Amino acid sequence: MSARRILVVSYYHPPSTAIGGARWAAMARHLRQMGHEVGVITSAVHGTLPGDAASGVVRTPDLANAQALRRLLWRPALPAPGAATVDTAAPRLLTRAVVPDSHLVSWLPGVLARTRRTLRAGAIDCLVTSGPPDSAHLLGLALGSRRPAWIADFRDG
Protein backbone atom coordinates (compact mmCIF):
# COMPACT_ATOMS: atom_id res chain seq x y z
CA MET A 1 0.00 0.00 0.00
CA SER A 2 1.37 3.41 -0.93
CA ALA A 3 1.40 6.29 1.52
CA ARG A 4 -1.52 8.69 1.34
CA ARG A 5 -1.83 12.36 2.23
CA ILE A 6 -4.79 12.76 4.56
CA LEU A 7 -6.26 16.02 5.78
CA VAL A 8 -8.43 15.80 8.91
CA VAL A 9 -10.71 18.71 9.79
CA SER A 10 -12.00 18.47 13.34
CA TYR A 11 -13.21 21.28 15.58
CA TYR A 12 -11.99 19.42 18.68
CA HIS A 13 -8.32 18.50 19.01
CA PRO A 14 -5.93 18.43 21.97
CA PRO A 15 -5.45 20.33 24.20
CA SER A 16 -9.26 20.20 24.09
CA THR A 17 -10.42 17.53 26.53
CA ALA A 18 -13.31 16.48 24.27
CA ILE A 19 -13.19 12.78 23.36
CA GLY A 20 -13.66 13.56 19.66
CA GLY A 21 -10.40 15.48 19.61
CA ALA A 22 -8.47 12.77 21.43
CA ARG A 23 -9.91 10.21 19.02
CA TRP A 24 -8.57 11.93 15.90
CA ALA A 25 -5.24 12.73 17.55
CA ALA A 26 -4.79 8.99 18.20
CA MET A 27 -5.95 8.00 14.71
CA ALA A 28 -3.59 10.52 13.13
CA ARG A 29 -0.71 9.10 15.18
CA HIS A 30 -1.51 5.54 14.06
CA LEU A 31 -1.92 6.57 10.41
CA ARG A 32 1.48 8.27 10.56
CA GLN A 33 3.00 5.11 12.02
CA MET A 34 1.60 3.27 8.99
CA GLY A 35 3.49 5.68 6.73
CA HIS A 36 0.74 8.12 5.80
CA GLU A 37 1.14 11.88 5.91
CA VAL A 38 -1.61 13.37 8.10
CA GLY A 39 -2.44 17.02 8.56
CA VAL A 40 -5.06 18.35 10.96
CA ILE A 41 -6.97 21.60 10.73
CA THR A 42 -8.71 22.53 13.96
CA SER A 43 -10.02 25.52 15.89
CA ALA A 44 -7.72 27.85 17.80
CA VAL A 45 -10.37 28.17 20.51
CA HIS A 46 -8.90 25.32 22.57
CA GLY A 47 -5.35 26.64 22.60
CA THR A 48 -2.17 25.25 21.11
CA LEU A 49 0.43 22.60 21.87
CA PRO A 50 4.20 23.00 21.46
CA GLY A 51 4.39 20.21 18.85
CA ASP A 52 1.57 21.47 16.62
CA ALA A 53 3.72 22.47 13.65
CA ALA A 54 5.84 19.31 13.78
CA SER A 55 2.73 17.11 13.85
CA GLY A 56 0.97 18.96 11.03
CA VAL A 57 -1.68 20.65 13.20
CA VAL A 58 -2.94 24.02 11.98
CA ARG A 59 -5.28 26.08 14.15
CA THR A 60 -7.71 28.46 12.51
CA PRO A 61 -9.40 31.55 13.94
CA ASP A 62 -12.72 31.12 15.72
CA LEU A 63 -15.05 33.87 16.86
CA ALA A 64 -15.81 31.75 19.94
CA ASN A 65 -12.51 32.84 21.50
CA ALA A 66 -12.94 36.55 20.75
CA GLN A 67 -13.09 37.85 24.33
CA ALA A 68 -14.89 41.09 23.43
CA LEU A 69 -17.58 39.14 21.61
CA ARG A 70 -17.89 36.70 24.51
CA ARG A 71 -18.46 39.60 26.92
CA LEU A 72 -20.99 41.19 24.56
CA LEU A 73 -22.95 37.91 24.42
CA TRP A 74 -22.61 37.37 28.20
CA ARG A 75 -20.55 34.19 27.79
CA PRO A 76 -18.02 33.07 30.42
CA ALA A 77 -14.30 33.35 29.76
CA LEU A 78 -12.75 30.30 28.15
CA PRO A 79 -10.72 28.03 30.44
CA ALA A 80 -6.98 27.59 30.06
CA PRO A 81 -5.98 24.98 27.44
CA GLY A 82 -6.38 21.47 28.83
CA ALA A 83 -8.55 22.61 31.74
CA ALA A 84 -12.07 21.35 32.25
CA THR A 85 -14.43 22.83 29.72
CA VAL A 86 -17.02 25.47 30.51
CA ASP A 87 -20.33 25.98 28.80
CA THR A 88 -19.25 27.14 25.34
CA ALA A 89 -22.70 26.87 23.82
CA ALA A 90 -23.77 29.88 21.84
CA PRO A 91 -26.63 32.03 23.08
CA ARG A 92 -30.10 30.76 22.24
CA LEU A 93 -30.51 33.53 19.65
CA LEU A 94 -27.69 32.03 17.58
CA THR A 95 -28.59 28.39 18.12
CA ARG A 96 -32.14 28.98 16.93
CA ALA A 97 -31.17 31.18 13.99
CA VAL A 98 -28.10 29.41 12.57
CA VAL A 99 -28.57 25.94 11.10
CA PRO A 100 -27.06 23.40 11.66
CA ASP A 101 -25.07 25.09 14.47
CA SER A 102 -23.41 28.35 15.47
CA HIS A 103 -19.96 27.12 14.37
CA LEU A 104 -21.19 27.78 10.84
CA VAL A 105 -20.53 31.48 11.43
CA SER A 106 -17.85 31.32 14.14
CA TRP A 107 -15.42 28.76 12.69
CA LEU A 108 -16.39 27.54 9.23
CA PRO A 109 -15.33 30.66 7.25
CA GLY A 110 -11.78 30.45 8.62
CA VAL A 111 -11.45 26.71 8.20
CA LEU A 112 -12.85 26.87 4.66
CA ALA A 113 -10.24 29.45 3.65
CA ARG A 114 -7.41 27.47 5.27
CA THR A 115 -8.53 24.18 3.73
CA ARG A 116 -8.69 25.75 0.27
CA ARG A 117 -5.13 27.06 0.70
CA THR A 118 -3.96 23.64 1.85
CA LEU A 119 -5.58 21.90 -1.12
CA ARG A 120 -4.04 24.40 -3.57
CA ALA A 121 -0.58 23.96 -1.99
CA GLY A 122 -0.33 20.23 -2.63
CA ALA A 123 -2.03 16.98 -3.43
CA ILE A 124 -4.31 15.68 -0.71
CA ASP A 125 -5.64 12.17 -1.32
CA CYS A 126 -8.39 12.21 1.29
CA LEU A 127 -10.31 14.82 3.26
CA VAL A 128 -11.86 13.75 6.57
CA THR A 129 -14.41 16.01 8.23
CA SER A 130 -15.27 15.07 11.79
CA GLY A 131 -18.19 16.34 13.79
CA PRO A 132 -19.86 17.49 15.89
CA PRO A 133 -20.20 20.25 15.20
CA ASP A 134 -22.29 19.19 12.23
CA SER A 135 -21.32 22.30 10.29
CA ALA A 136 -17.83 20.77 9.88
CA HIS A 137 -19.31 18.53 7.21
CA LEU A 138 -20.52 21.53 5.21
CA LEU A 139 -16.85 22.06 4.44
CA GLY A 140 -16.84 19.02 2.15
CA LEU A 141 -19.87 20.36 0.31
CA ALA A 142 -18.46 23.89 0.09
CA LEU A 143 -15.28 22.59 -1.56
CA GLY A 144 -17.39 21.19 -4.39
CA SER A 145 -16.38 18.66 -6.98
CA ARG A 146 -12.71 19.71 -6.95
CA ARG A 147 -12.16 18.29 -3.48
CA PRO A 148 -10.29 15.00 -2.94
CA ALA A 149 -12.03 11.84 -1.76
CA TRP A 150 -14.10 12.83 1.28
CA ILE A 151 -14.99 10.90 4.44
CA ALA A 152 -17.58 12.47 6.74
CA ASP A 153 -17.08 11.15 10.28
CA PHE A 154 -20.35 11.61 12.19
CA ARG A 155 -19.28 10.85 15.77
CA ASP A 156 -22.54 11.43 17.61
CA GLY A 157 -25.92 10.43 16.19
Judge contact between 78 and 45, C-beta under 8 A. yes
How does pLDDT run along the chain (157 residues), one tens digit per residue? 688 999 999 999 999 888 888 999 999 999 999 999 999 999 988 888 999 999 999 999 887 766 665 565 556 666 555 555 545 555 555 555 556 676 777 788 899 999 999 999 988 999 999 998 888 999 999 999 889 999 999 987 6
CATH of domain 5-154: 3.40.50
Using a 10 angstrom Cβ sphere, with 0-12 exposed, 13-18 middle and 19 or more buried, the burial of residue 34 is exposed
Judge contact between 3 and 135, C-beta under 8 A. no
Residues 6+ apart with CB under 8 A from 115: 7, 9, 41, 127, 139, 143
Boundaries of every domain in the chain: 5-154
